[in-house]
Structure 1
Amino acid sequence: MAKLAETETVLKKTQETLAEEIRIKEETMAKLAETEAVLKKTQETLEEEIKKKEDAISKLKKTEVMVKKTAVILDETQQTETSLTDEASKLLATLKESIVDGRSEE
Structure 2
Amino acid sequence: MVIISVGLLLSSLYKNMVSAEAISQIIYQATIFLSGFYFEVTNTPWFIRWYVYFNPVTYLVDGMRKLMTGKVLVPVNIIVPVIWMLASILIFSMSYKGMVYREK
* TM-score normalized by the length of structure 1: 0.26
* TM-score normalized by the length of structure 2: 0.27
Please tell me whether Structure 1 or Structure 2 has the larger radius of gyration of its CA atoms.
1
* Higher helix content, 1 or 2: 1
